Amino acid sequence: MSVLVVGSLALDTVETPFGTVKDAVGGSATYISTAASYFTMPVRVVGVVGGDFPRKGIEFLENRNIDLEGLQVIKDGKTFRWAGRYHYDLNVRDTLLTELNVFETFNPVIPESYRRSRWVCLGNIDPVLQRRVLEQIEKPRAVIGDTMNYWIERRNGELRETLKRIDVLVVNESEARLLSNEPNLIKAGRIIRGMGPSVVIIKKGEHGALLMTENTVFSAPAYPMENIFDPTGAGDSFAGGFVGWLARTDDFTEENLKRAVIYGSALASFCVEKFGVEGLADLSYLRIQDRFRAFRDLSHFEEHELATGDRDLY
């Protein structure tokens, strides 16, 4: 089943306690589409880059068979740039720079061949652009959306409008608190569900993720990793793995949403093992499946059967 991804394609400068990269290929659409490409085809991208976006970035996506018909290249424009610094506690990140560049005047035009995409993932970009994409496509099976502090603070009203058209919102814990004005994540999830999305996923970095629907709260663990090099793109890889699995199975039931959360978490865990998009470069479904099982084993336990001699416990 088809997936349409809209989001940023970026040149990222990232500092972590383990090293620095300058102008690395990144962006929400890059991470989401690459992660989703391990599960389903076609994965279609809508976005914009400047003439300075490196050829190897395009080739990276082409090698994953990602459809780039909806990618605009503005020859004399500059690609979106983002810079961030991670603290010793990798859950804490400061944004040092956000330069919208070609995104400032971007008008997404959805190619005819994309209009019937069944699953849509709105990566982190201006909520006005997210909505413009939705206006050009026929009713998809579900819309998965992401956003971040930058847009919650600067485009709150527009974001609220977009939220009415999103089925699954994926945010991290600080974004969930900011958007809902509520410190408790369970309550925050409920408040956000009241804004439109029937499903809310709150990512908690190295502490896993919460899936909230009308009837359930499902808590997924995070994979205990010893070697995290660069958390950039983890959230987007999560969204890509999540939507990729849903598209693969074309199943929006609660049980399958839980599996999709684990596939999303698996892709995020591969992403952070290397700098930039490298962690997503050479995966295979078998490696992903192995990690999926490792996730299951992490929090699976059997109830102890009480013997007659244990009756005093009651």
Token digits for 141? 């099976």
- Choices 4-12, 212-220, 244-252, 293-301 (CB under 6 A): range interacting with ligand AMP: 4-12
* Closer residue to ligand AMP (CB): 147 or 180: 147
CA-CA distances (angstroms) from residue 67 to 60, 138, 223, 275?
12, 19, 31, 24
3-class SS of residue 257: helix
* Binding track, positions 174-213, relative to ligand AMP; x by CB under 6 A: ----------------------------------------
E strand intervals along 115-234: 119-122, 142-146, 168-172, 199-203, 209-212, 217-220
170 binds ligand AMP (CB under 6 A): no
235 binds ligand AMP (CB under 6 A): yes
Q: List Cβ neighbours of 117 (8 Å cut-off, separation of 6 or more).
A: 2, 3, 4, 44, 137, 140
- Confirm if 1 and 120 have CB atoms less than 8 A apart: no
Interface with ligand AMP (CB under 6 A), residue from 236, 242, 244, 275 = 236
Peptide bond into 54 cis (omega under 30): no
E strand intervals along the chain: 3-6, 10-16, 19-26, 43-50, 67-74, 80-86, 93-99, 119-122, 142-146, 168-172, 199-203, 209-212, 217-220
CA distance 26 to 237: 11
The least distance separating ligand AMP from the CB of residue 82, rounded to whole angstroms, comes to: 4
57 binds ligand AMP (CB under 6 A): no
* Binding track, positions 60-99, relative to ligand AMP; x by CB under 6 A: ----------------------x---------------x-
* Closer residue to ligand AMP (CB): 106 or 245: 106
* Binding track, positions 15-54, relative to ligand AMP; x by CB under 6 A: -----------xxx--------------------------
- Choices 191-199, 204-212, 220-228, 233-241 (CB under 6 A): range interacting with ligand AMP: 233-241
- Choices 61-69, 189-197, 227-235, 293-301 (CB under 6 A): range interacting with ligand AMP: 227-235
* Closer residue to ligand AMP (CB): 34 or 124: 124
283 binds ligand AMP (CB under 6 A): no
The least distance separating ligand AMP from the CB of residue 9, rounded to whole angstroms, comes to: 8
8 binds ligand AMP (CB under 6 A): yes
CA distance 242 to 270: 14
CB-CB neighbours of 89 under 10 Å: 10
CA-CA distances (angstroms) from residue 75 to 13, 50, 79, 201, 254?
22, 6, 10, 37, 45
Token digits for 3? 């997936």
Q: Which amino acid is at 290?
A: D
* Binding track, positions 138-167, relative to ligand AMP; x by CB under 6 A: ----------x-x-----------------
Residues found near ligand AMP in the complex (CB under 6 A) = 8, 10, 12, 26-28, 82, 98, 124-125, 148, 150, 232-236
